[in-house]
Structure 1
Amino acid sequence: MIVSCKAYDLPGAIGDFAPAVGPRTVVLPLLNGMRHLDALDARFGGDAVLGGLCLISSRLDEEGRILHLSDVHRLTFGARSPAQAEAAQAVAESFAGANLEPMRSDDVTLAMWEKWTFLAALAGVTCLMRAAIGDVVKADGTDLILAILEECRAIAESNGHSPREPFLEMSRRRLTDPNSTLTASMLDDLERGGPTEADHILGDLLRRGASEPGPSSLLHAALVAIRAQESRRGRAPSNG
């Protein structure tokens, strides 16, 4: 059972697919962050829930169609415990011949934390600045970008999942490219007035931090900026 909805749709999705989950069913979630694992483990048991993530660039157009923006379509998955090794192998076999790049990971939890680290930094920067990465770099914002990435890295490390140096080098390179038009899909959601995964991606990461975010936390500032915009959007317009 592949679960690939947005985080805010997960409770409803669980209610929809739960009747189809049997004693031998394996649930493979592809959501960002980690909090969804708590909900899925509680409902189906930890042994039934694998770890997984997607690397894909896509957007919804104005008619709600999914646009695939590049030729990258990698799906990483794996066992979260030794007891899941057989299930992970069965999933690998089921992907044989599929039109995607399946990748079985020996440490899928670390892979999920690495993606979360990058995504939280990307969302934090682009939503706080309301601009693409290249625009922020050209506005002398490289130090700000690297500071947010370091916040995310430090939280991952404090949770026992320190991102590997090659991954961090790739992240720094992508997040400081002055020609990059990269933005987080969270910025798209925010600008079109839709719901966002801010609490799942940024809020939960901050909650897992070693200490309460201080006034200098740029990640916290990004979360406040998103929440404030959502609050402003939900407020009835004043007649005054």
Structure 2
Amino acid sequence: MTRSRAQTRLMLAILGAVFAFLYVPISVLFALSFNEGGLPTAWTGFSTKWYGELLRNADIMGAAWNSLIVAVASTVIATVLGTLLAIGIEMRRRKGRLVETLVFAPMIIPDIVLAIALLSMFSLAGVRMGLHTIIVSHVVFNLAFVCAVVRARLRSFDWSIVEASTDLGAPATVTLRRVILPSLLPAVIAGALLAFTLSIDEFIIAFFTAGAGRSSITLPMQIFAMIRFGVTPEINALATIVMTLSLVMLAISQRLNRGSLPGQ
């Protein structure tokens, strides 16, 4: 009994150290975004003025708008294609590892490698860089994540209702629209929220596939440009907003996806 308690305490201590390592810097960043003086070494009082300064910064607002355009467009496309891809893979009678590898390769390949590959493809095709190339790149990146989330739900899907719909004479499109998609809707929304979060936060692929000028600068690229001259209170406020948005999206995604795995 004593040994079991000691092991439990050790595991709790390790878990506490890991959580402290992960979340203490985030907590410090969050607190400094409300520091009136804006100095990282001294607390001079609570203030929200840096959030006001952030909203008055035209460069940051322009980059935020570009990120929103990229995230919404890439999420819509990746969600549609990823859902159809997941359904197609699960409906195959014979599932090969080659198909699995090709579908989920973007999740495994390092971002820098994928970014260089996409840049090379656009250059060889003579495509002019801009927001449209970032959107296409993010679709490639997010497609596998949406497919993975939807497939997790499909593994516990009752395919007998699809057979019943077919036996009753419903066309494949009607079966997909009125039988399959309503059952998959929570997983589809969860995949879409995950794709949106990943697109908002993504930097490397956007950096490589963006065009020249401010018209294609996204929010992570703007943050990177600003921190080269030092971390300012505005960056702390901006990072806090992005982090909070990402955490909220991920929490909603996890809640919607609850029960998608078999046995849950």
With the shorter chain as reference, the TM-score category is under 0.3
Structure with more of its chain in helix, by fraction: 2
Give the alignment's TM-score, normalised by structure 1.
Answer: 0.27
Higher radius of gyration, 1 or 2? 2
